[in-house]
Structure 1
């Protein structure tokens, strides 16, 4: 990797952490300069604006978390296990989140809802990516006979992701993982009702 590419990657990685912790509005170019150790001119050699950095930084953070979801899912054999794997990635969201600052999609969606359409679009893409992953797992579970045939993949994926994101939000707000733990246990019990037989 060339020096210029390494510098650009360094800016993206450090900025992703700052944006995910402080938000877009709460992060200034001076914050990025301070955290990266790169002068203003060096930043502008790679990016035209703070907006461009924010979009690249979000892509980086979201892809990292999505990779951790995929890795956890791939370790499970059953459809139920694969769905629970999403929750386990965030089981210690208070002390050890998969990316510093919590869920990039959630943080981005809340802050950029009405103020930054481009960031909101990225968060929306992230939402659909995860929902599609979940729906694919559910459809496979129906096809293999693990889940009941009348199960609605769209509804179950929405329910699962809502429980996951709600658990992250409440646990972070309270500084206690109990909400993630309760939501994981509740979803696990619910999945047993969706199964044709115990797994």
Structure 2
């Protein structure tokens, strides 16, 4: 990471700094709730400096989503890589999302869920980002299941696409309940059901 930073131009470093400082705010407050003053306060930069690096607040928000989603996905990918068994790889999703209150990356909740809810009918570009993120998760889960079937770790005949859709919906639904109510029992119930889903397809 240090080497990457060293190779960046001053303008690129400033742009990255703005993204890193504002990403948690966009995840917590959403696009509509994040003001230019929030961005100025978080970065300590002037409005002119921010607009010298981004054309609009929309562009900052889009970059912030990529940063937030990339960070969560990278964490999941690293933890999965450490698990040789396909079943344990699937359980990584449950572990990460059930522990979101202790993960700085997700203090505002799941960036995909937050963005999907807010931008559904209001911001086409952010909605497209959320759709792409969900499709990415679909593919990752399907790939794990297909590999697990090939390795004899997951039951033959498992419908990878159906499992992925139900699994994602269960996790995100649990996250939504936890965020809205401020209580964890809905998420814990979702995780328990997710564990049962995984158990049902384990060979």
* TM, length-normalised to structure 1: 0.93
> Following superposition of structure 1 onto structure 2, how do residues 143-162 of structure 1 map, counting pairs within 5 Å?
143-162=150-169
**Which moved further from structure 2: 181-190 or 81-90?**
181-190
**Deviation of the 1:93 alpha carbon:** 2.2
1:24 maps onto 2:31 in alignment? yes
**Deviation of the 1:75 alpha carbon:** 1.8
1:177 maps onto 2:184 in alignment? yes
Residue among 120, 131, 136 paired with 2:138: 131
**SS state of the match for residue 115, structure 2?**
helix
Name the residue aligned to 1:71. Answer: 78
**Which moved further from structure 2: 72-81 or 44-53?**
72-81
Separation in 2, partners of 1:32, 1:98? 18
Separation in 1, partners of 2:90, 2:130? 21
Separation in 2, partners of 1:96, 1:62? 14
- Residue deviations 1:88-136 (CA, integer Å, cap 9, x gap): 1122223435333111111100000011001100000000011100000
1:39 maps onto 2:51 in alignment? no
The 3 A distance-change label for structure 1 pair 97 and 179 is farther
Q: Select the structure that is richer in helix.
A: 2
**Deviation of the 1:26 alpha carbon:** 0.7
Name the residue aligned to 1:168. Answer: 175
Runs (5+) with no aligned partner, structure 2: 1-7
The 3 A distance-change label for structure 1 pair 71 and 180 is farther
Residue-pair matches, total? 196
